Structure 1
């Protein structure tokens, strides 16, 4: 770990860092585990404007997660950059947390498994530390008792099922991103594999017989987010050896639509790029999430911009610039949570893929709002600092050093894309 990062973490009281070996691929992965399974009061709370700028520029992708055994964050970043994000991870780990008031916590009777403050795990090529001797985990008092079937009514959450004893020959882990998966949960002196689903239906029929059709995104998930979750599960099983349990079922009978756990995607960058970020290392390969574009996301709607890109070599940088322009203005224009992705297609066509919060289809008027936002955004064209940071982001996404471009070149291409008739 660099001296600057070490000094920064030393100032964050109560945060320990464990440097573990890489999980493979072209990514470093950071897991932030909050003390006692507490939830962040506000997702990504405490990050400074510079930390948000750095997070975006280094092409990091993050997720606030709530699991039965732990809560915190998972951050995927290009190989070699993880140690430069440790100050950010320490800030997240030191933020105030709030108790988990979910039906999941109540039903499983989750309590701290040990006295352990927040922990940051960095999986990278430089890591060689042994597995930590303790982690801020929760254990289930309910699973420690006799076999049981429990139903809890929830007026706000949707239906969800949590059960033990799922057959080994029908793995669910790869589908966790679409609502059905597994995790390791301490119980007594050991740990139990807990299966879950919030998309199985309205009644818990034939849970042990669930067979999932493969999805093209399952493999990408298991190489990225799934790899991080699997690594933590392995650490849990090392601390609390797995034991068999085949007769527990928790049914959250929901009357709403929300899931019984909270998640939140990457923090938005600042509205304007006030800080230039220095490239900390040379990209070692394409970004692990490069192929995970909006075109493969369920329920995403496509908006084709009116013009085309003339200089195709600028596509990676223009993607980053457009993403930043959308992030700056879209939420203010729509008033709703919207996720998006920019893709340059064959012939220079530019598509923006849009999905509403919770993975839902966006409303029709939101596509119109997006187009208006983009066209009006040229009233405040991107400056030199934003373009410089966009070049770094594009380099880490592509896995190679991307050529620098000037303000005038970017402005001309944005005019070609957004105002082809002018």
Structure 2
């Protein structure tokens, strides 16, 4: 298959009249400055597909159901109680149906790979399925049906608070021993297809003990390691009360954090922690839509990028799935806090959108253990912009990315994942069937 684009974002920058030859799910050859051949499928502008480094797919079913204030102070912790109640009935079939819709929506907005931070392991009553990786299999099947790339991150969860506190009844579906988790990871690995990647995810410092964290790392076997950290002020305060140190500082002191690691959220960090995360080469996994929805706070992204830090974005709770909006809100949050414009641009990369996109592409690929970008030998994960969107009129180069992120309303035309066109005219090729299955699952769960 050959695709011809009027312009494409390659590793070295925007290039006109580009032909991509695809074979075996990868880009076999890149030709530049060429006219279209008769057999070429022709399009306007090509971007690499973005990685979505942090998702809890099952939470897509909650979207819009937690926007009513209760009697008590409404914050992350009250939202978490609602989330726990929402998982009480989800089985493998419903999980697959919900995840498939979430993954189709990710593709429609330009995400081509997802990091699934998967902790819904057991039956609703907390008992083990005969296959401990039953729910992992549902996630893998959903990714295959939707056609999105999958980095599966089985979550280790053992405790309800810092210092090895006993888990609550609502957390029973998440809990494993270290040995049980090792079995879960290996059985989950067998569920993956095509270019699936497996890593591990200690849920958070409040859910694992130091001894357990040390025992988990060999299970990763060189793969990605993700952890929630410093998302909430209370979490920071509780960690200080337990250990005398802030959570990010404790982790950097106690664990071999390096480029394999993704610190998800890391919202509440001090200047020294910002510097040290960047120096270790770890990725800051930012989820601006969810962080805004939950009232988490704001990561100092500008300072981190200026120190050479790696970032990526994720859709987390999937309350709203939109790759461009994650990047837009990341920048707008900085503007509101710092009271200035184009806060995440730089002298070397004055286009805010281009710097954000490039950072999220590289950091997301690092986080999920895959190569990204449009080059020979890389996965054929390609997004084409819709020339009919008036936001692109008269634009070229980085102005196309700025207009996609900050001005466009219907930017995506087609999306290829591993060389297969999953989205055409902005709509997933199986959306009708995926939606119907999702509706059935929601009717059962919400009855």
Taking CA–CA contacts closer than 8 Å with sequence separation of 6 or more, which of the two structures ends up with the larger relative contact order?
2
Same fold flag (TM > 0.5): no
Q: TM-score, normalised by structure 2?
A: 0.26
Structure having the higher helix fraction is: 2
